[in-house]
Each structure stands twice: as structure tokens, then as C-alpha cells.
Amino acid sequence: CRTLHLLAKEQRVTVQEYKQLLDQGVPHVLVDVRPQVEVDICQLPHSICILC
């Protein structure tokens, strides 16, 4: 059994919130921490992928 470490809700961003950041041109860094299998299915443009 593994322990799951999630960011606090206020440290996460929803798809809708991220779309708003993109539309507004807000400078940001998107860190993708999804497992490799999910990254292989759909890569997020301009993200930094950190595989766990």
C-alpha cells in the first residue's frame, strides 16, 4: 500500500482556471506530475513533466 500525497486544494488548479490563465496571458509554470501512462495519452503543451 502506497501513501498518496496531494497538493492542498488551494495549490491545485482546475481545467477551467487554467484555461482562464491561458486566455489572460498570465505568466505561469505548469508542472505535470501525472504518471507516464497518462502523459503518453495526452501531453500538456508548455508544461514541465516531472515523472513520479
- For 7-52, write each residue's pLDDT tens digit: 788 888 899 999 999 999 999 999 998 899 999 999 988 899 987 5
Burial group, residue 46, by CB count within 10 angstroms (0-12, 13-18, 19+):
exposed
In 3D space, the residue among 11, 6, 49 whose CA is nearest the CA of residue 30 turns out to be 49
3-class DSSP assignment, residue 15: helix
Question: Closest Cα to residue 15, out of 51, 42, 52, 50?
Answer: 42
pTM: 0.64
